[in-house]
Amino acid sequence: MKKDELKHFRKGIKDVQRMLTVAAKRLNDGRCEAAAEFMMGEAALLQKLATELRSVIEDGEQKPQ
């Protein structure tokens, strides 16, 4: 995997972590609906990132090294 690809995935994970902190704060403030919406959005972004990573892994397996 190229260095740029690693940076992309690390950044995506950090972004999700940052937003989950916001969701936790909203949950602690009693704003359960807002927390749930944030969590659903971040879960979708994380799923997309995981799909991209799987694609990169599969492409790497197909190429002879």
What's the domain range around 35?
13-58
Residue 45 falls within a domain, yes or no? Answer: yes
Residue 54 falls within a domain, yes or no? Answer: yes
Residue 8 falls within a domain, yes or no? Answer: no
Residue 34 falls within a domain, yes or no? Answer: yes
Confirm if 31 and 47 have CB atoms less than 8 A apart. Answer: no
Give the residue from 14, 34, 9 showing the smallest Cα distance to 24. Answer: 34
With cut-offs at 50, 70 and 90, classify the pLDDT of residue 63.
Answer: low
Residue 21 falls within a domain, yes or no? Answer: yes
- List, for residues 30-60, the tens digit of each pLDDT value: 999 999 999 999 999 999 999 999 999 998 8
pLDDT tops 70 at residue 12: yes
Residue 2 falls within a domain, yes or no? Answer: no
Residue 3 falls within a domain, yes or no? Answer: no
Rounded average pLDDT over 4-12: 93
Cα gap 50→65, rounded to integer Å: 24
Cα gap 23→38, rounded to integer Å: 6
Domains of the chain: total? 1
pLDDT (0 to 100) of residue 35: 95
